[in-house]
Amino acid sequence: MDIEDSTLKQRKEYYDKSFPVETFYKWITRNKKYSDTRELSFTMSDESYIRYQHFKSNEELKRKLKEKVPIKFDIGAVFDKLLIGVTNTPLLREFIIDIDMDEYNDVRYCCQGTNICKKCWTLLVAAVQVLNYILHEQFGFNHILNVFSGRRGIHIWVCDDIAMEMTDTLRMNIVQYLNLFEAKHTNSQNESYIVIPGRHSLFDDSYQILEPLFNKYLQDEQIFECSERRSRFIRLIPTSKQSQCDEKEDLTWDYVKKILSDDPKALQRIVFTYLYPRLDINVSMKRNHLLKAPFCIHPATGNVCVPIPFNKIIDFDVTRVPTLISVQEERENKTEIIQNNRMEEEDSYNNSDNENDQKPKYSYKEFVQFFDSFVNDLIQ
Ligand SMILES: [Zn+2]
């Protein structure tokens, strides 16, 4: 049996025995309400797509997953009808936001490319915390699911009925409101930065959330220790205060806050340039945009795209995400599993610098339980 065959067999088993098909189906069809018109799109191992799939029951969906064994599948909109060869009009869809680490390449120094570590995870934590807060407090959404994309990103699914019903124009307006990077400002060094046009609750609230993470970011990414990074940081400070920072040998964030204490806009500009969420706006604007489903296995990493409870995101360790293999081992009781409610206590594993040390994976079951309670809360 070659590798592809064995993965195929493992995937089939995953769909058969571990994928939470009942809850998943309940979620995407809102308890069968949209069973005839909710699109799923299968991606096959030859990269071809099978679009406009829809299912009358979770049993039918499971049968199809086992028969086709897609390497991943995406969730589309709820359409007026789902017929091949005619125009289907998307009507309803979760409001979705895609945060991809790619967007942060100019402020991420610890890793490159597809890598991700605990240090740069902070960038995603920052994005999730700000967006969840704004979506909840300013827009009043209550059912927000944060899902690990399987490699180095987070998908945010706003599932409230009122979010489902939003028109494309409304989605675009919300995205434009949230997206401070839209009008890209760059300085003479071609470095992007954010402009704060005035006082606004979006800026003030976001700053309150991001500022406590900023010191950790500065230390993790060695912004003051490395001269290039330090210079870039100083260029974000208003010109009149730059020399004060330049001369300061042991520059600290506390010192910068002190000299800019009368200029909140300047402080916001600095923090936001590094930590404010960078959105892939095209994903959010149109109802018919496809997005990878939670609990898919990422084709390249083998990681499960797990939904993460909001309060666990800050301590989440991406190197311990359940994989196709660990899920199978957990099912067969063959491996040590870390209970997710003990995430914060497991410092002994975090302190190990040896990359070859196999850290135990998080328990897959607990992500499924979390998803169950999220969906039950949504559909009442
Ligand atoms: Zn990193």
Read off the pLDDT band of 349 (50, 70, 90).
very low
Q: What is the pLDDT of residue 351?
A: 46
pLDDT of 356 above 60: no
pLDDT of 341 above 70: no
CA 153 / ligand 1 centre spacing (Å): 12
CA 273 / ligand 1 centre spacing (Å): 18
How is residue 102 annotated by DSSP? G
Mean pLDDT over 207-235 rounds to 96
Rounded to an integer, what distance in angstroms lies between the CA atom of residue 70 and that of residue 46?
A: 10
Read off the pLDDT band of 84 (50, 70, 90).
confident
pLDDT of 336 above 80: no
Predicted confidence (pLDDT) per residue in 182-194, tens digit: 666 788 888 888 8
CA 134 / ligand 1 centre spacing (Å): 26
CA 358 / ligand 1 centre spacing (Å): 18
Read off the pLDDT band of 343 (50, 70, 90).
low
Terminal C-alpha separation, the chain: 47
**What mean pLDDT, rounded, does the chain reach?**
91
Q: Indicate the pTM of the whole model.
A: 0.93
- The three-point CA angle 74-78-83 to 5° equals 90
The H or E element containing residue 144 is strand 144-148
Q: What is the pLDDT of residue 338?
A: 66
CA 210 / ligand 1 centre spacing (Å): 18
CA 152 / ligand 1 centre spacing (Å): 10
Beta strands in 198-306 (DSSP E): 291-292
Mean pLDDT over 43-60 rounds to 95
CA 328 / ligand 1 centre spacing (Å): 28
Q: What is the pLDDT of residue 342?
A: 56
Q: What is the pLDDT of residue 78?
A: 97
CA 223 / ligand 1 centre spacing (Å): 14
pLDDT of 160 above 80: yes
Q: What is the pLDDT of residue 129?
A: 98
Predicted confidence (pLDDT) per residue in 112-150, tens digit: 988 999 999 999 999 999 999 999 999 999 999 999 999
pLDDT of 261 above 50: yes
CA 90 / ligand 1 centre spacing (Å): 38
Q: Which domains does the chain have, with CATH numbers?
A: 3-95+281-378 (3.90.920.10), 101-141+183-275 (no CATH)
CA 220 / ligand 1 centre spacing (Å): 9
Rounded to an integer, what distance in angstroms lies between the CA atom of residue 339 and that of residue 362?
A: 6
CA 118 / ligand 1 centre spacing (Å): 6
CA 121 / ligand 1 centre spacing (Å): 7
CA 330 / ligand 1 centre spacing (Å): 28
Give long-range contacts, CB 8 A cutoff, 24+ apart: 331-340.
331/17, 331/18, 335/360, 335/361, 336/360, 337/361, 337/362, 337/363, 338/362, 338/363, 339/363, 339/366, 340/309, 340/312, 340/366, 340/367
CA 216 / ligand 1 centre spacing (Å): 13
- Looking at the chain, the whole-number percentage of residues with pLDDT higher than 90 is 81
CA 141 / ligand 1 centre spacing (Å): 31
Predicted confidence (pLDDT) per residue in 279-334, tens digit: 999 999 999 999 999 999 999 999 999 999 999 999 999 999 999 999 999 999 87
Read off the pLDDT band of 1 (50, 70, 90).
low
CA 179 / ligand 1 centre spacing (Å): 24
Burial of 133 (0-12, 13-18, 19+ CB in 10 A): middle
Between 327 and 344, the higher pLDDT residue: 327
